[in-house]
């Protein structure tokens, strides 16, 4: 199969499938259609990988017709955003869409020479392929999961008319847009796909059409439009300073002059808005009202990754500048503060949202540190975070459907009620949290990269990373602790209702997270190191057998996996308890014998149930008290980032 | 290994102390054992405050209907081998509360007692003597099961 | 790798619990002396251990026991990696996993005391984890590697370069030894209002396992302190023992304080001091170069 057709399958086919699903509306057709197109997408992404590994990066330039089509669609999109702003009486959306609607024609018709062709339009190197793999495989699994989820979701809402066709239209089209985004080398094309993801996100957040969903969707829209406006402005400035709109040209300049730094800073700013970095975190937190597959697909694994992808893609361009240092400090700051705020959250999806923002901050920080090791860490984190967080969103969504609550306190003792789901949830959290899993490999590499004095500000960055790592541990540990809190030693048989598509996709993904972590060394060898070298960075890891040796340390995944498996699985299998060994928990001798929940005798022989729970320490880590300070500090850091460009 | 465990057992008696409601005189004498003057930690003895960690249940005061079940629960939550010491006249026989309408009498009405230490209040020396006696009994006891 | 390189660490690893137990015995003896008592024999912790080993294990939930084993075995992995001079960051990550097992064990029983202890143990981890990670970074700034081998190849003692980081590590030592004023998760002395916090529901053999783990932990953290004076190593060992005695002194003259205070101390004195130390090294031009 030709490269062109592969790219067409990855970018255009999802749009076609989405339109078809939108047209037929019948769930009986949508299901096989979606499953088959997702499978095709996964296969195509793997074929593209083999292609690029064999033959190196692919450059493609479709004809002028496509350029014009993209332009027309650009204006259609902006017109639609203006319409949304107008009907919802949202001045910010009107203003931001209006600015773009003015700047884009100015750029196209007055600044750029007519008939300009950015060469190449699409440039597919290994970094793009890694993103495509994440988008197509993890995204595909999430969409397949969504088929059963949406059926239950609509049954729960008791809708008169199914709206699944709308839902799957945006979900499937989104994958095409993401693939286009990571393939685009022309910034004009990138801008188009960027705006399409904004559109999909807007519609998916407001999918349930209640007041909260609509309000949050509008907020997400204006914040993402702000990024879009920065992107257009950046393009104008870039053309005037460097006469190019090609990312390859931009990153190929070597060290860039001051004039190019401002557009670069604007592009990074665009990335920050999409990746919901502080102070734009509120749109991602608000997006959690959407059905769970949306959160999993757009707000953890893929769309927000577009933001960090852009920052990472441009990293070679700003290497060695003050901008790079400012980005590192900013990212590390976001990593720390969002994980601190996450400690005070009861709401499971909010914890996941904060954790997502936090990990994206870590990736941004790595891009800012901009060394061989840091870039490798960033790519590894993108992959491992996407898969682990995808699992967590899906499993929490399913748990929410079962227990009808997303409060972590309501998950107390869940392992006794839903053993399989909570087991997967715990495994997912452990892959996010502990050595020797992949996310920790990324964290290990990033702390090492930050420890090298890349600038006078490195103590700040590494300090943020160390505190952030510890706070990350706090909220995951608390959550796992809630689920494993068990009452009684006698457990009845549990019947866990299982729907095939949901459970199989979740299981596949969690197995993928573990297997990928085990095979981290080949992954680094085959994907990450070559991806880095096409970006112009040197090899960061020597792999001796299964060990990964960086310049400063040694990561030995296999011995660690064996050790951890022995330490946890062996006792889990071997510890035996006889029934006469059981005693109730210590309650100062006041236990009420045989109580279902541990209880003690109180006044007048009343039986009082004990109450246990996580601590949230709101006085110290409370969202309400911290958010304004955090946003203020982040705005200052962003100002520093922009001012630093001129110094 | 068993020899090691038997020898260790007498060198590391951890006590949990429960007052069934006496006058607190005996309780104060128990605490006096921990002070530098008597320093029972010399013999590895610790006041552990948690039945699940303890070897010796030290009870003062006469048992009554209200706290009999607490005493029983605490006793059940101590892992074997364990011994029970009734400290003071009240705990041993009911003492001045003998035949009182609201008490059951000595704690042996509720749980098996291994060592009785009379006295009102008991002297710390007597308590220490009692512990030594209790330790002799501790090694005669068997573990009920393999944990 | 010569046989000496293989045998010595292995011997050290096997002797670690013995050393840890002896240190605990010294602790109890010294503490008694500071309080004007005679105190138990030095071997007392071993008597306690074997006694507990020979007792019945009462169980509240089976998972409680499973996590206790995880706590012990993962701590042993960390100590093993330490003696084989592996990557300090990885060692601390493994140690964090082990610490989390203790927390999970306490959470896996619905008992008010062990939950209270577990929530506080999380705070203790939050307090010492950044200090340990940053201390590893500070050492890296001088030696140029996170491998412990680098500390020995460095050829000079580290303490003169890292005095502030050393003070910070002492805070972590206090928390990890679970001594006053930092014994907030499991009161060091029994018979207090939180009973024994995270340890409350353990009994018999599994309580013995936890004691054993604690010995390993003490050896690991004191070993880390010894790294600050690895040339010659005996000074480092004496230094570590000195710091151990200092912690005992602090333990005996202070009460258990509140968690917010602990976090404040560890983030200001701990994280703040190490970052200041890094800045000093950087300004003095002594940091490794890219």
Residue A349 neighbours by CB under 8 Å, 6+ apart:
A288, A292, A295, A393, A396, A400, A406
3-state SS assignment for residue C232: coil
CB A69, CB A546: distance < 8 Å: no
Q: How confident is the model at residue B1 (pLDDT cuts 50, 70, 90)?
A: confident
Residues forming a β-bridge with A123: A59
Residue C268 placed within a domain? yes
b/e map C43-59, b = 16+ CB within 10 Å? ebbbbbbbbbbbbbbbb
| Per-residue pLDDT reduced to its tens digit, A588-612 | 888 888 888 888 998 888 899 988 8
Work out the number of other CB atoms within 10 angstroms of the CB of residue A193: 21
Q: How confident is the model at residue A106 (pLDDT cuts 50, 70, 90)?
A: very high
- DSSP β-ladder status, A122-124 and B56-60: unpaired
Closest CA to C45 of A62, B44, A142: B44
Which chain C residue has the Cα nearest residue A441? C90
Residues of chain B in contact with residue A583, where contact means CB-CB under 8 angstroms, are 52, 76-77
Sign of CA dihedral A106, A110, A111, A116: positive
Pick C256 or A221 by higher pLDDT. Answer: A221
Work out the number of other CB atoms within 10 angstroms of the CB of residue A63: 10
- Chains in contact with C via at least 3 Cβ–Cβ pairs below 8 Å: A, B
Residue B145 has pLDDT above 80, yes or no: no
Residues of chain C in contact with residue A440, where contact means CB-CB under 8 angstroms, are 93
CB contact under 8 A, B39 and C192: no
Residues of chain C in contact with residue A371, where contact means CB-CB under 8 angstroms, are 290
Which chain C residue has the Cα nearest residue A473? C126
Residues forming a β-bridge with A591: A600
Q: Is C37 on the interface with B (CB under 8 A)?
A: yes
Residue C231, domain extent: 3-283
| Mean of per-residue pLDDT scores for chain A | 90
Q: Is C118 on the interface with A (CB under 8 A)?
A: yes
The C-alpha atoms of residue B87 and residue B106 are separated, in whole angstroms, by 10
φ, ψ of residue B138 in degrees (nearest 5)? -60, -40
Question: What's the pLDDT score for residue A387?
Answer: 93
| Per-residue pLDDT reduced to its tens digit, C210-248 | 999 999 999 999 999 999 999 889 999 999 999 999 999
Eight-state DSSP code of residue A485: -
CB contact under 8 A, C37 and B39: yes
Residue C92 has pLDDT above 90, yes or no: yes
Question: What's the pLDDT score for residue A491?
Answer: 58
CB contact under 8 A, A589 and B51: yes
Is residue C83 classed exposed, middle or buried when 0-12, 13-18 and 19+ CB atoms within 10 A define those classes?
buried
Q: What is the mean pLDDT of residues A139-143?
A: 93
Domain regions of chain B by residue span: 11-140
Q: How many CB pairs under 8 A join A and C?
A: 216
Closest CB to B12: pick one of C51, C59, C195.
Answer: C51
b/e map A522-557, b = 16+ CB within 10 Å? ebbeebbbbbbeebebebbbeeeebebbbbbbbbbb
Question: What's the pLDDT score for residue C137?
Answer: 95
Closest CB to C190: pick one of B42, B44, B50.
Answer: B50
Closest CA to B146 of C102, A575, A585, A567: A575
Q: How confident is the model at residue A256 (pLDDT cuts 50, 70, 90)?
A: low
Question: What's the pLDDT score for residue B146?
Answer: 41
Eight-state DSSP code of residue A209: -
Q: How confident is the model at residue C17 (pLDDT cuts 50, 70, 90)?
A: very high
The C-alpha atoms of residue A66 and residue A68 are separated, in whole angstroms, by 5
CB contact under 8 A, A486 and C110: yes
Q: Is C190 on the interface with B (CB under 8 A)?
A: yes
The C-alpha atoms of residue C188 and residue C201 are separated, in whole angstroms, by 16
Residues forming a β-bridge with B16: B57
CB B134, CB B45: distance < 8 Å: no
Closest CA to A343 of A218, A253, A197, A474: A474
- Alpha carbon A256 to its chain centroid, in Å, reads 30
Q: What is the mean pLDDT of residues A301-322?
A: 91
Residue A220 has pLDDT above 80, yes or no: yes
Q: Model-level pTM?
A: 0.94
Radius of gyration, CA atoms only, chain A: 25
Domain regions of chain A by residue span: 320-573
The C-alpha atoms of residue A509 and residue A391 are separated, in whole angstroms, by 6
Give the minimum alpha-carbon distance from C217 to chain B in angstroms, rounded to a whole number. 21
Residue B2 has pLDDT above 80, yes or no: no
Q: How confident is the model at residue A243 (pLDDT cuts 50, 70, 90)?
A: confident
CB contact under 8 A, C57 and A581: yes
Residue A639 neighbours by CB under 8 Å, 6+ apart:
none
Q: What is the mean pLDDT of residues A469-492?
A: 85
| Per-residue pLDDT reduced to its tens digit, B45-72 | 888 888 999 999 999 999 988 889 999 9
> Cis (ω within 30 of 0) for the bond into B121?
yes
Tokens linked to A530: 């070559």
Residues of chain A in contact with residue C82, where contact means CB-CB under 8 angstroms, are none
Residue C208 has pLDDT above 50, yes or no: yes
Question: What's the pLDDT score for residue C29?
Answer: 93
| Per-residue pLDDT reduced to its tens digit, A614-640 | 889 988 888 888 999 999 999 999 999
Question: What's the pLDDT score for residue A495?
Answer: 67
CB contact under 8 A, B44 and C41: yes
Pick C92 or B34 by higher pLDDT. Answer: C92
Residue C252 placed within a domain? yes
Residue A458 neighbours by CB under 8 Å, 6+ apart:
A450, A451, A452, C278, C282
φ, ψ of residue A600 in degrees (nearest 5)? -130, 155
Residue A364 neighbours by CB under 8 Å, 6+ apart:
A271, A272, A275, A277, A308, A311, A327, A330, A331, A334
Give the minimum alpha-carbon distance from C244 to chain A in angstroms, rounded to a whole number. 25
Residue A232 has pLDDT above 70, yes or no: yes
Q: Is B73 on the interface with A (CB under 8 A)?
A: yes
φ, ψ of residue C255 in degrees (nearest 5)? -95, 170
φ, ψ of residue B86 in degrees (nearest 5)? -95, 110
Question: What's the pLDDT score for residue C191?
Answer: 66
CB A192, CB A251: distance < 8 Å: no
Q: What is the mean pLDDT of residues C88-109?
A: 94
Pick A546 or C125 by higher pLDDT. Answer: C125
- Preferred mutation among C45, C55, C200 to probe B, highest tally of B CBs within 10 A: C55
Q: What is the DSSP string of C52-86?
A: HHTS---BS-HHHHHHHHHHHHHHHHHHHHHHTT-
- Preferred mutation among C63, C81, C89 to probe A, highest tally of A CBs within 10 A: C89
Tokens linked to A629: 């300070």
Closest CA to C90 of C10, C30, C147: C147
CB contact under 8 A, B147 and A591: no
Give the range among A75-79, A253-257, A496-500 with minimum mean pLDDT. Answer: A253-257
> Cis (ω within 30 of 0) for the bond into A365?
no
| Per-residue pLDDT reduced to its tens digit, A194-215 | 999 999 999 999 998 999 999 9
The C-alpha atoms of residue A75 and residue A79 are separated, in whole angstroms, by 6
Residue A175 has pLDDT above 60, yes or no: yes
ipTM score: 0.94
- Preferred mutation among A577, A589, A591, A604 to probe B, highest tally of B CBs within 10 A: A589
Which chain C residue has the Cα nearest residue A551? C145
Tokens linked to A81: 């955003």
| Per-residue pLDDT reduced to its tens digit, A24-46 | 888 888 999 999 999 999 999 99
C residues 215-254 lying closer than 8 A (beta carbon) to A: none
Q: What is the mean pLDDT of residues A501-511?
A: 91
Q: What proportions of chain A, in percent to the nearest 5, are helix, strand and coil?
A: 75, 5, 20
In Å, how far are A474, A559, B51, C11, C151 from C91, measured between CA atoms? 19, 13, 36, 19, 15
Question: What's the pLDDT score for residue A492?
Answer: 58
Work out the number of other CB atoms within 10 angstroms of the CB of residue A411: 26
Residue C289 placed within a domain? no
Q: Could you tell me what percent of chain A has a pLDDT over 70?
A: 98
Q: Is A2 on the interface with B (CB under 8 A)?
A: no
Q: Could you tell me what percent of chain C has a pLDDT over 70?
A: 97
| Per-residue pLDDT reduced to its tens digit, A530-582 | 999 988 899 999 887 788 899 899 999 999 999 999 999 999 999 888 888 88
CB contact under 8 A, C96 and A434: yes
Sign of CA dihedral C178, C181, C182, C183: positive
Q: What is the mean pLDDT of residues C106-112?
A: 91
| Per-residue pLDDT reduced to its tens digit, A39-85 | 999 999 999 999 999 888 999 988 888 989 999 999 999 999 999 99
Closest CB to A589: pick one of B74, B144, B145.
Answer: B74
Tokens linked to A577: 């308890």
In degrees, to the nearest 5, what angle opens at C-alpha A374 toward C-alphas A371 and A378?
140
Tokens linked to A135: 């988008």
Q: How confident is the model at residue B147 (pLDDT cuts 50, 70, 90)?
A: very low
CB contact under 8 A, C32 and B79: no
Residue A493 has pLDDT above 80, yes or no: no
CB A202, CB A221: distance < 8 Å: yes
Residue B42 has pLDDT above 60, yes or no: yes
CATH architecture of B11-140: 3-Layer(aba) Sandwich (3.40)
Torsion of CA A434, A438, A441, A442, to 10 degrees: -110
Residues of chain A in contact with residue C129, where contact means CB-CB under 8 angstroms, are 466, 469-470, 473
Residue C290 placed within a domain? no
CB A298, CB A174: distance < 8 Å: yes
Which chain A residue has the Cα nearest residue B16? A588
Q: Is C77 on the interface with A (CB under 8 A)?
A: yes
Q: Could you tell me what percent of chain A has a pLDDT over 90?
A: 65
């Amino acid at each position: 199969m030709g490269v062109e057709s592969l790219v067409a399958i990855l970018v255009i086919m999802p749009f076609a499938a989405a339109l078809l699903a939108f047209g037929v509306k019948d769930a009986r057709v949508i299901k096989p259609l979606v499953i088959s197109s997702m499978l095709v997408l996964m296969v195509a992404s793997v074929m593209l990988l083999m292609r690029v590994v064999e033959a190196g990066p692919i450059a493609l330039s479709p004809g002028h017709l496509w350029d014009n089509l993209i332009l027309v669609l650009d204006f259609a999109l902006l017109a639609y955003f203006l319409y949304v702003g107008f009907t919802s009486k949202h001045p910010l959306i009107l203003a931001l869409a209006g600015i773009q609607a003015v700047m884009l024609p100015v750029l196209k018709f007055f600044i750029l020479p007519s008939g300009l062709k950015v060469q190449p339009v699409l440039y597919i190197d290994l970094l793009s392929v890694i993103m495509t793999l994440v988008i197509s495989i993890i995204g595909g699994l999430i969409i397949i999961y969504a088929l059963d989820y949406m059926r239950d979701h609509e049954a729960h809402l008791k809708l008169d008319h199914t709206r699944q066709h709308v839902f799957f239209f945006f979900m499937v089209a989104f994958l095409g847009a993401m693939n286009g985004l990571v393939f685009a080398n022309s910034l004009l094309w990138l801008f188009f796909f960027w705006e399409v993801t904004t559109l999909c996100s807007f519609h998916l957040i407001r999918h349930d059409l209640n007041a909260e969903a609509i309000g949050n969707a509008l907020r997400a829209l204006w914040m993402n439009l702000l990024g879009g406006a920065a992107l257009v402005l950046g393009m104008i400035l870039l053309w005037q300073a460097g006469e190019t709109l090609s990312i390859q040209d931009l990153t190929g300049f070597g060290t860039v002059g001051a004039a190019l730094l401002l557009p670069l800073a604007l592009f990074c700013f665009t990335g920050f808005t999409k990746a919901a970095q502080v102070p734009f975190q509120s749109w991602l937190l608000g997006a959690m009202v959407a059905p769970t597959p949306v959160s999993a697909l757009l707000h953890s694994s893929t769309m927000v990754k577009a933001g960090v992808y852009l920052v990472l893609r441009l990293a070679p361009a700003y290497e060695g500048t003050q901008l790079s240092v400012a980005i590192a400090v900013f990212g590390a700051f976001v990593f720390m503060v969002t994980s601190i705020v996450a400690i005070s959250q009861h709401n499971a999806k909010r914890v996941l949202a904060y954790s997502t923002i936090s990990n994206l901050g870590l990736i941004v920080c790595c891009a800012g540190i901009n060394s061989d090791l840091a870039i490798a860490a960033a790519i590894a984190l993108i992959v491992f975070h996407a898969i682990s967080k995808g699992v967590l969103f899906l499993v929490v969504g399913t748990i929410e459907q079962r227990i009808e609550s997303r409060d972590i306190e309501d998950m107390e003792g869940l392992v006794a009620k839903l053993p399989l789901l909570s087991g997967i949830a715990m495994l997912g959290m452990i892959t996010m949290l502990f050595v020797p899993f992949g996310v920790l490999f990324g964290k290990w590499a990033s702390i090492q990269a930050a420890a090298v004095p890349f600038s006078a500000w490195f103590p700040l960055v590494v300090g943020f990373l160390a505190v952030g790592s510890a706070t990350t541990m706090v909220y995951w540990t608390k959550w796992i602790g809630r689920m494993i809190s068990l009452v009684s030693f006698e457990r009845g048989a549990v019947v866990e209702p299982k729907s095939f598509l949901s459970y199989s996709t979740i299981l596949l993904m969690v197995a993928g997270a573990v297997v990928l972590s085990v095979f981290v060394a080949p992954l680094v060898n085959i994907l990450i190191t070559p991806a880095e070298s096409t970006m112009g960075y040197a090899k960061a890891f020597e792999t001796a057998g299964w060990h990964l040796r960086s310049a400063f340390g040694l990561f030995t995944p296999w011995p660690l996996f064996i050790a951890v498996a022995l330490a946890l699985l062996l006792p889990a299998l071997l510890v035996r308890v006889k029934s006469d060994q059981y005693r109730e928990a210590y309650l100062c001798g006041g236990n009420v014998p045989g109580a279902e929940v541990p209880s003690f005798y109180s006044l007048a022989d009343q039986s009082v149930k004990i109450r246990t729970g996580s601590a949230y320490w709101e006085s110290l880590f409370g969202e309400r008290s911290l958010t304004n300070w955090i946003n203020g500090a982040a705005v200052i850091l962003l100002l520093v980032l922009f001012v630093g460009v001129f110094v | 290994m068993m020899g090691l465990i038997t020898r260790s057992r007498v060198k590391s008696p951890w006590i949990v102390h429960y007052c069934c409601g006496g006058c607190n005189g005996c309780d104060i004498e128990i605490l006096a054992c921990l002070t530098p003057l008597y320093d029972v930690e010399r013999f590895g003895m610790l006041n552990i405050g948690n039945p699940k960690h303890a070897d010796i249940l030290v009870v003062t005061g006469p048992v009554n209907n209200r706290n009999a079940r607490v005493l029983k629960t605490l006793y059940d939550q101590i892992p074997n081998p364990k011994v029970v010491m009734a400290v003071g006249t009240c705990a041993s026989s009911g003492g001045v509360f003998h035949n009182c309408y609201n008490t059951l009498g000595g704690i042996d009405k509720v749980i098996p007692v291994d060592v009785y230490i009379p006295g009102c209040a008991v002297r710390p020396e007597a308590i220490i003597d009692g512990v030594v006696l209790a330790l002799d009994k501790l090694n005669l006891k068997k573990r009920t099961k393999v944990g | 790798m010569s046989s000496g390189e293989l045998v010595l660490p292995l011997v050290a690893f096997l002797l670690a619990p013995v050393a840890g137990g002896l240190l605990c015995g010294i602790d109890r003896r010294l503490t008694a002396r500071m309080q004007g008592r005679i105190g138990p024999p030095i071997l007392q912790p071993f008597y306690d251990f074997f006694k507990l080993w020979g007792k019945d294990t009462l169980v509240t939930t089976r998972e409680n026991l499973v996590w206790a084993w995880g706590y012990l075995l993962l701590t042993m992995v960390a100590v093993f990696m330490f003696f084989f001079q592996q990557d300090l960051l990885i060692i601390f990550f493994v140690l964090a996993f082990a610490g989390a097992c203790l927390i999970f064990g306490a959470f896996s029983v619905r008992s008010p005391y062990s939950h209270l202890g577990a929530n506080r143990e999380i705070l203790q981890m939050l307090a010492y984890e950044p200090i340990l990670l940053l201390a590893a970074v500070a050492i890296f700034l001088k030696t140029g590697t996170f491998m412990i081998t680098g500390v020995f190849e460095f050829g000079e003692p580290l303490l003169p370069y890292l005095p502030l980081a050393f003070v910070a590590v002492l805070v972590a030592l206090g928390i990890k030894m679970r001594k006053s004023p930092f014994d907030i998760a499991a009161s060091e002395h029994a018979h207090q209002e939180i009973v024994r916090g995270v340890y409350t529901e353990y009994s018999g053999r599994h309580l013995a396992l936890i004691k054993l783990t604690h010995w390993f932990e003490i050896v690991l953290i004191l070993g880390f302190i010894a790294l600050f004076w690895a040339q010659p190593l005996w000074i480092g060992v004496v230094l570590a023992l000195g710091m151990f005695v200092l912690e005992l002194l602090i333990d005996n003259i202070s009460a258990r304080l509140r968690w917010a205070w602990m976090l404040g101390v560890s983030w200001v004195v701990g994280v703040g001091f190490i970052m200041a130390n890094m800045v000093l090294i950087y300004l003095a031009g002594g940091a490794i170069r890219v």
